[in-house]
Every structure is written in C-alpha cells, then in structure tokens.
Structure 1
Amino acid sequence: MRTLEQRLAKVDTVLTRLGLPSSQNRGEGFTPHREPTALKSKLSDVLITDQRIHSADYSIPFLSGQGQKWIQLAGEEAAQSSSLGSSGHSQIDPSNFTTLPDKVVVQQCFQQYKTSRWAEMFPVFREDSFSATVDKAYGQPVCTASQACVHALCIASPMFHWHSQERPPAIHSADTAIVHLLMPHLLVGRPSLELVQTLVLLTVRTFTLGSFEGIDMYLCLAARALSVLGAHLQPPSDSAEQEKHIYRDLFWIVHVLDVDHAIRSGRPPVISDAWCDLTLPPGRWPSYDNRRVRYPLDLHLNLIKSQAYTKLYSLESLEKSDAELLKDIRLLDKALEDWRMSLPSDIRPALTYREDCSAPGPLEEGLVFLCLEYHRCVSSIHQAVTRVARSVGHEDAVSSSLNIAIDATRSTLLYFRDQHRYLTRALFWLWSSYPITALLMLFTEAMSNTGSSGCSDDSQCSRDLAMAQDVVDALREVGNAATDHSPRLQKLTRFLEEILSIARVLGAEAYAAAAKREYEMLGQEPVL
C-alpha cells in the first residue's frame, strides 16, 4: 500500500508539471467529462506524435515528445520509442565486407558535386550535413547508413563532370556492390537522412544510365522513407533552417522523378499528392536562378504534369464522361498556359516551335529540357481527347485538341532536331524519350488517318517524314557516341527506322488513294 501511495504521489507531481489536474485538486465532485474540450486538448498534447498527425481524435495515438517526457518522469527511465520499432539489425557492423574509399577521395567527389550543375538540379546535400555524414561513416560506432551514403556519392561522382561531348565514365563496380550489400541492413531500422540521400543518388544514376527496371524500387523506398521522416509535409516552425531545406529538397527531387517515371512507364505514381503538402518553396521564381534551372524540372510544371496524369490517364479517369474529360483537358490546358505566361520572357517556351524559329544560343541545358517538357505536356494533355466520341456538340472540341496535340508533337521533334547539340550526350537515355514519344505520336496519327483527307496533304506528309528522318539520324549519331554502339541502341534505331518505313508506305497509299478519287470525279484515269 505504501508503494502505491508513493507512485500516486509521483504521478500527481508529474501531472502538476504538465499542467494537468492532479488527484488532490480535482475535488469530490469532479466529473471526467465536465470539460471535454480542455481534456481533449491536454490529451492531444500528450498523444500527438512528432509525425505531425493533426488530430488525436481520428488517428492512432502516438506518444509525442511531451508524452515521452511524462513516461520518463513517472517511470524514472527514458522512453526508448525508437528501440521498440527497431529489430537491431541496423547496428550490424558491416566492416567485415566493406572498405571505405579514402577520405580525401570522398572530399574530392563532394567538391566536384558542389561546383557542378548537378548541385542545382539535384540539391541532395548541404555542406554541414555532409560533413557530419563523413564523420559518422569513418568514426565509431559504425554508422551503416553514412557508409552507404559515402559509397553512393562515389558511384554518382562521374556524373558531376559530364560534358556534352563526353561518354559516360565507368562506374566503380566495387562501390555499387557494397551499397547493395549494405541495403538490407539499412531497411530494417528507422529511415535516416543518409538513407534517403543514398536512395536518391542511386535513383538519379539509374535514370541517367537508362536502367529503368530498378527505378521503381528505389523510388518506392525513397518515397516511403521521406514520408516516415515527415518530409512530405512542411517542417515545424521550430526546425533548424538547414533541416527544413534539405528534407524538402529531397522530397521535391523524388516527386519530380516519380511523376516523370510514372508517365514514361505508364505505372501509378508512388507518391500520392493528396497526402502531401505541395506548397512550393518561397520566392517568385523558386526553380530558376540566372536562367539556370533548379531541381530536375520546374516544380510548378511538375505539379501540372502530375495532375494531368492522374486526371486523364488513371483508372478512375476511364470512368469519366466525355463532358468531364473535355472539362479536365480545358482546365489543365489553361493551367499550363498560365504557367507558361508566368515565366520570364527570356526563358518562356514558345507556344509553337516552327522551322523558321531561332533560339538564342548557346542554351543552358536545363532550358532545353524545359521546352521539350512543355511541348510533351501539351501533347499528353490534348492526346487524351482520343477517348472522346465525335458526337454532336463535341466535334469542334475534339478536332481542336487533336490539332493542338499534333502541333505540339511536331514542335517537340523540330525543337529537338535544332537544339539537341546542347544536351549532354551522357544523358542520352534520359532525354531520348522526348523525340521517341513524339515520333510514336506522329506515327499513331498517321495510322488513324489512313485513307482520310488528313493524310492526303502530301506536302505536310513529306515534311513530317523528312523531319522524322532527321530526328532518327540525330538519335543514332548521338546515341552511338554516348553508348558505344550498344545493342539496346541498335534495337531502338531499327525499330524507329521500321516505323518510318511504314509511315512512308502509308503516306504513299494515302496520296495514291486521294489522287484516284480526284481523277474519278473528273472521269479520268489517274497517272501515278
């Protein structure tokens, strides 16, 4: 009994410190539900987790920092919540099968990163945080995540000094193997900043090498780790300034890569926008600095891409009526045009790129990507109109959207043909999707219009075929230099050449059919 009284006295002391009513000052007439709002507020203070779940009433109650303090004071031992969710495997010493690169080499790799444009496009590191990562990687006790991050930086370092005329340097196979060996030990513990940085570097490297099979897993792991760390939400106001920026930078990098990969592959995106705070970074032009693009892509354009993919190509979108689909196309087109007009005039993509257009050079590579991305986005938005039936009342809207989609496709091919020399050869598999997608779109349009008056415009067909041949030749030339005549590239170019051959046959047949109809109307035999 004496022990129980001592425990109750200790609980009263803790409640008093936390500002909650103790058993001594409640009074005999105390009713627990007399002040539900105040009690609910106090419970929320104790139960809300640092994961920033907004209401204790409609979520699983996690212990906040204040709740952990209450347990520590009441039980006279620290609340070790992190150990409860850890299997302990993350503490395995990987020194038996890993060898860290020389510390000087790591510092050189980081300096290359800092002085390259990759630091702007992919702001993965901050100098202070990386210094701490290096200290933990080479210190004691062993930090597996920090060691993996150091190896990942070495893997990615050849990218930091790629130039337009250089081939991709060979990747250190030992570092790649070590990161893969470390990965199982990283995934059983609580995610860390170093784990996310490692996954992002591996994702970017996989993107640039065109090894798209592994991107799904890297993106899934990185996105889930970021959500556990709370990076999908705005950081608390009392967070350190460096911490605020680095987690949100990593979130935006993963979001951009996720949307882009989903569109390329036709798979669902990993990140659900409905669960994320998509407030853009502060500043009028958060993505630009002296005509250089920050992040892999303009963040506002990235959000429009994400909305377009979800609203026009998701499983749910297939259930929409024609009117709903046309409305979404119209709204997305307006949002895209508002974004385009909001850009400074010197970096604003042209509404349509013509053969007689001249762009000031030399162009910054990020701006070339921006224009290619804009035209592809226009095409993908309006291409969705092919699902709309050409019924009465919709014919004009359908025809207009189809014309816009084809016009954007031609703009993509023309712009690529004229400006591809500003694109880094080592990133061939990254930017080659723009002309390839446009070529397939143009081919699909030719197939759908076979035998109609749309294909009987011999002059336009001839211009399209000539332009397409120039693009395929450019892809072959740059691809051979960048990939050392890889078998994969040879298959790709053979496929594109076959498409061009079929398109030429279709064009010739359409022209012959149109000529025959014209002569039949005149009562004459066509001369072909």
Structure 2
Amino acid sequence: MVACHAVPKKKGSRDNISKRIERIEEFIAQNGSASEGQSTASPSDGSETGNPPQPPRSVGIEEQQSFSTPSNDTSSKLNRGPIPGRSACGQIYFAGCYLGTMDSPDRIPAFSAEGLEWIFSATGEHPTFSNITVEDSANPKKSFYSPMYSSEDHPNGRERFPDLWITQAFVREFMESSIRHVFPIIDDVLFERTIEIAYGPEPGPNSSEYLSSRACVLAFVSLMSFQFSTIPAAAHIDRLECMTWAQSLIGRCLNFPSLTTLQTLVSLQLNSMVLGHMQAGVMFHGMACRTTCTLGAHTIVPTPPSDRALTVPERIDEQQRKMFWVCYIFDKNLALRTGQPPSLWDEFCDLTLPPEYVKGRFGVPEYEHLVRAPYPVLFGDIRLSILKSKVSRELYSIQSLRKSNAELLQSIRELDEELEGWRSSLPRNFKPRVSFSPHYEKWLSDMEFARSVQHIELHLEYHHLVASIHGASGRCFKNGRVDPKIIGLQSSLDLAVEASRTTIIYLSVAIDSLPREAFWAFLFHPMSALITLFFNVIRDPLAAEAEGDTNLISTAGDLIQRLPSHQLLRLHETSFIEQLGAFVAELSRLAAKAINKARNERAG
C-alpha cells in the first residue's frame, strides 16, 4: 500500500478548477468569433460550386480529421486520428496522439505503431511487450480463456433442470440479501409464476412461455450459484452448463419478447461479465436493450401507489422499468469505456428519475430496510449515467471529432460544470474529489459493506469521468505538445492526469472493501489510470511529478495483483494476471528509463 497521506496535493485539484476553467473560458471568448468566421461561406468552402460546406477543421487535429489508419512506417507522424469507423473513446489517445486501444481481445492494452515509436523515442529502446500487446487487427490473437458456451444445441431435457428446492433456496438468498437492490433481476411475486410455469407440464414443443420460463430459471440459478456459492444448493449446480442451456432455450424465444425473456438476457449478461467474457456480455446486453424498448420500458414511467399493494400489471411495469435502468447504466458504461455506439439513445427514452431517488439511494442506512426500490440502489448512479451519455456524445462521437478547438473546450467546460453539480449534490461522506482526501480511509472503515462498495463505485466513476472529460482536450495538442495559443489547455490535461493519480491512490486504500465478484468491473480503473500516467511520463519525463507517477504505475501493478476475486475464477485469472503483471512491470521499467534518458541528455 502506498503512503497516501504523503502524496502532495497537485495543482490539478478541484480547489483550483474554477481558475482553470476561467482560462479555458478566456480562450473560448477570444477564439469563438474567429471560429465562427472560419465556418462562414468562402470561395473555398463549396458554397459557389453547389457542394455542401465542410465541417470546420480544428487547429492541431488535421490528421485526426482524416481518420488515418496507423501505419507501420516509423517515419509517419505521431498525430494520428482514431482508426476508421471507431471513435476516440476506448482508445489510448493522449496529448493529440493515437497510441493504441484499451479494448483489445485479451483485455490488455494494445499499442499502435505510433505508440511504440513514441516509447522508443523517449526511452531509446524497443519495448519487450509480448505479441498480445501489439495491435494487429488483421491477425488478432485469440483469448486464452476456455470457451464459455458449448457449440452443441442441447435438446430441451428435464433431466438437466435443477430440482425445485434448489431454485427456491437461491430465491430466498437473493431476496434476503442487498444484491436484490443492486441488480433487481427478478420480482419475487412475478418470479413465483415463472417457476410455476417452468416446473409445470409442457404445454407444447414450442411454447415460448414455457421455454422462456425455463431459460429464466436456469440463468438465475447459474448467476446465484456464483453469488451464493457457499450454500448447500450451490453444490448441486453446474454453473456453466446452466448458462449453456439458458442460452440455447432463450434463442428459441426471441420472437416473443417478454419480461421473462428480458430477465434471462440480463442474467446471462451479468454471468458473462462476471466471468470476464466481455464480448458475450456485450451481445446479451444489446439484445436486452432492444427487448426493453420492445416492451416499452424506455418510455413507461410507473407511478406505484403508496396506499395499497401493487397489482400484477403494476408489478410488471415496475419490474420492466427496473430492468430498463439496469440496461441504461450498463449501456453508458460500455459506450464510454469502449467507444461503441450506445444501444439506448437518450433522445428516445424517458429519463424521469424514480420518486425520491436521491433519498432512497443515500438516505437508508441498511438496504434490508427497503421494502421496494424502483431503481438500482448500489449499481451505478442514474444521474451520473445520464452525464456519461452526454460525455460520449459531446466529446467522443464521430461528430464531436469535427469540433473546432473552441467548440471542444466549450463542451469540456459545460460537462465539467455538470459533473461538479452532481458531485455537490452528494452527502459529505460520499463526495469525491479530484485529489485524494485523507478522510477516505476513515469513512470506508466506518461504513457497512454495501455502503463502502457504493462509496468506491462513486469515486472511481467520478475520477474516470474527470479523466474522460478533460482528457479530450488532448485533441487540441500538436504532436504531443501544447499549442501556446490555447489558454488553459495544459490545465485541462493536468486535471485528467490528476484524476488518474487519485484513482490509484484511492484504490490502494479501498481495495480490501471490494466485493470478490467485481474483479472484471473494477479492473478497468487502475488499467486506464496507469496508461494515462505512463504516457504523461513519456511526454514530459523531466516534469516534477514524473518520478512519483512512475512509482504509482508500479503501485497499480501491485493493486491489480491484489484485486479480490472469486475462487471459481482464480484458475482462469491466474494466466491473465501473470501476463498483465509483466505488462505493467514493463511500463514501469520504460517510464524509469525515459526519466533517466532525459536527465542524462540534459546533463550532457
């Protein structure tokens, strides 16, 4: 664990953000009219030839406008844009340079030719990364994980279905735990009917209600056998076999979408992501999102009565809306992390928050006291997810890449203000800061487990959003260097780097409070942070913070080794962790090499 309290408060802290934003606003005020003038009709803009005027070109991102494919030619420019057909989000794109992608098949960052060239120029030697870290879209290396699903299409056989007492045992555990408010994947009353159908007589060989009910039970039991692996019922379940059967059955029901179908797809998505099979999870997620829209859950906002029990139709509406919010939160996380287009577009959804949402999320000390929660309590903040959607759209969509520097910095300022408004609305003990606070360790130790996980999730997502918002300012750089004409540009990048520092420092304090099932969910944060810190060192190895950032890269490697994981995953994770550890160790070595090389050159 690092000595967190010894880390000085950097100039990128939230205390200085108002001054930094003022400098950005000053640039916008000075350049706004100029950019407007550039976009007006001129003899070269096509207005006289009948062609539509082209979008204004941004200073310092000319190569980005062409969306050039990274070249293996070592003489090519560093200032490349994203690869064709993809946004800058989810890629390693630092200080105006396209350097690779975070979203590789093996979950280990893959550097582009430009990224490797930049590393070589800073260190004087070629990196010794294994082949899986070198981007090669024409010949991607297969994942070293064993396949999750069998290719065999199993027949519908009752002999492979779990006994009724097993399913009932998992339902009891689920309803008595706080996870039902984290991932409300079933409603206990409605699920009784699903169980009744699944264990009843088969009405016909192709009954969609019967098949979807059995698929839903199998997917639920599979997920719960992982969550509650110590109860007696778990010993009677083959988790992967249940998943295989659920997948096979649900594929025969997609023409008849229902709440049962939706619950099955979300359970399969969670199962996949817990195992680290992200692509399978993304596919199930896409189907779940389309199902929510087919059912109307994206526009139907239920108003449950407070003076009586819910009717069955009211329960169905409420459960479908819960599932919509689960899908929505996942959707915005995936879009911001991978750069893939969202499946749920805000313009087509009613995003009215549930009644007393903030009070329900932060005002109840124990989740067990909640009788009915019409929203995910712990998993993600809906308001923050709405802001993530704006960040993806305004800063990382293909259209946003055509913004002028002034327009881009204007968007950064507005999004930062919205993020600060969200942060200010949180209770004091949950309020994150860009720089590490010594109060975090005490607050976490005093919290009950579910609340501590909520604290961790809020802080990591906040730091990631700060880095995402201000990291986009790198598009205004020229070949990795600050354009002196743009006031406040370095300040914005400093905020992104400071948020990455805080991510690693905070995790070093919070790691013992992480749930063991969340390995793959939390792994993204230290990986994203250490990549930012590494290229910040490469860009300016003589900076005052360079040596400290190199130490934090090593710390991130240690944290990844210590991330808690479920015993059922350790066999598969061991190989991955070893390769990832070697990757981070090489980054740390190269960062130190860049510092020494720069110092020697200065001394010589």
TM-score where L is the length of structure 2: 0.64
Q: Quote the residue 1:154 is aligned against.
A: 221
Q: Which residue of the other structure, out of 267, 287, 292, is the alignment partner of 2:361? A: 287
Question: Structure 2: which amino acid aligns with 1:394?
Answer: I
Asked if 1:330 corresponds to 2:422, the answer is no
Change (3 A) 1:385 1:125: same
Q: Which residue of the other structure, out of 498, 502, 507, is the alignment partner of 2:586? A: 498
Q: Quote the residue 1:470 is aligned against.
A: 555
1:168-183 equivalences under 5 Å are 172-183=239-250
Aligned counterparts of 2:463 and 2:269: Cα–Cα separation in 1:
25
Cα distance, 1:275 vs. partner?
Answer: 0.9
Cα distance, 1:278 vs. partner?
Answer: 1.0
Asked if 1:259 corresponds to 2:350, the answer is no
Alpha-carbon contact 1:126-1:246 (below 8 Å) kept: yes
Asked if 1:104 corresponds to 2:165, the answer is yes
Cα distance, 1:289 vs. partner?
Answer: 4.8
Q: Quote the residue 2:148 is aligned against.
A: none
Change (3 A) 1:139 1:473: same
1:439-458 equivalences under 5 Å are 439-450=530-541, 455-457=542-544
Which of these two proteins has the greater Rg computed from alpha carbons? Answer: 1
Is 327-336 or 176-185 further displaced after alignment? Answer: 176-185
Q: Which residue of the other structure, out of 509, 515, 528, is the alignment partner of 1:437? A: 528
Structure 2, gaps ≥5 residues long? 1-153, 231-235, 305-310, 368-375
1:90-169 equivalences under 5 Å are 95-96=156-157, 99-140=160-201, 141=203, 143-161=210-228
Question: Structure 2: which amino acid aligns with 1:161?
Answer: F
Cα distance, 1:174 vs. partner?
Answer: 2.2
Alpha-carbon contact 1:148-1:182 (below 8 Å) kept: yes
Instruction: Identify which of structures 1 and 2 has the higher relative contact order when contacts are C-alpha pairs closer than 8 Å and 6+ apart.
Output: 2
Cα distance, 1:456 vs. partner?
Answer: 3.6
Q: Normalized per residue, which structure has more helix?
A: 1
Q: Quote the residue 1:483 is aligned against.
A: 570
Question: Structure 1: which amino acid aligns with 2:318?
Answer: H
Q: Quote the residue 2:252 is aligned against.
A: 185
Alpha-carbon contact 1:117-1:160 (below 8 Å) kept: no
Aligned counterparts of 1:514 and 1:479: Cα–Cα separation in 2:
43
Aligned counterparts of 1:514 and 1:358: Cα–Cα separation in 2:
40
Cα distance, 1:344 vs. partner?
Answer: 1.2
Alpha-carbon contact 2:362-2:427 (below 8 Å) kept: no
Cα distance, 1:500 vs. partner?
Answer: 0.9
How many aligned positions are there?
412
Change (3 A) 1:182 1:104: same
Change (3 A) 1:498 1:483: same
Aligned counterparts of 1:466 and 1:472: Cα–Cα separation in 2:
10
Aligned counterparts of 1:235 and 1:225: Cα–Cα separation in 2:
16
Q: Quote the residue 2:341 is aligned against.
A: 268
Q: Which residue of the other structure, out of 407, 411, 430, is the alignment partner of 1:347? A: 430
Q: Quote the residue 1:400 is aligned against.
A: 491
Alpha-carbon contact 1:113-1:160 (below 8 Å) kept: no
Alpha-carbon contact 1:259-1:306 (below 8 Å) kept: yes
Q: Quote the residue 1:249 is aligned against.
A: 322
Cα distance, 1:356 vs. partner?
Answer: 8.3
Alpha-carbon contact 2:250-2:264 (below 8 Å) kept: no
Alpha-carbon contact 2:441-2:510 (below 8 Å) kept: no
Question: Structure 1: which amino acid aligns with 2:400?
Answer: S
1:21-60 equivalences under 5 Å are none
Alpha-carbon contact 1:137-1:150 (below 8 Å) kept: yes
Change (3 A) 1:196 1:259: same
Q: Quote the residue 2:40 is aligned against.
A: none
Aligned counterparts of 1:245 and 1:122: Cα–Cα separation in 2:
14
Identity within the alignment, %: 29
Cα distance, 1:258 vs. partner?
Answer: 1.5
Aligned counterparts of 1:505 and 1:134: Cα–Cα separation in 2:
61
Q: Quote the residue 2:297 is aligned against.
A: 231
Aligned counterparts of 1:95 and 1:204: Cα–Cα separation in 2:
23
TM-score where L is the length of structure 1: 0.73
Alpha-carbon contact 2:182-2:377 (below 8 Å) kept: yes
Cα distance, 1:474 vs. partner?
Answer: 2.3
Q: Quote the residue 1:70 is aligned against.
A: none
Alpha-carbon contact 1:137-1:146 (below 8 Å) kept: yes
Secondary structure of residue in 1 paired with 2:191 = helix
Aligned counterparts of 1:350 and 1:175: Cα–Cα separation in 2:
43
Cα distance, 1:496 vs. partner?
Answer: 1.1
Cα distance, 1:479 vs. partner?
Answer: 6.2
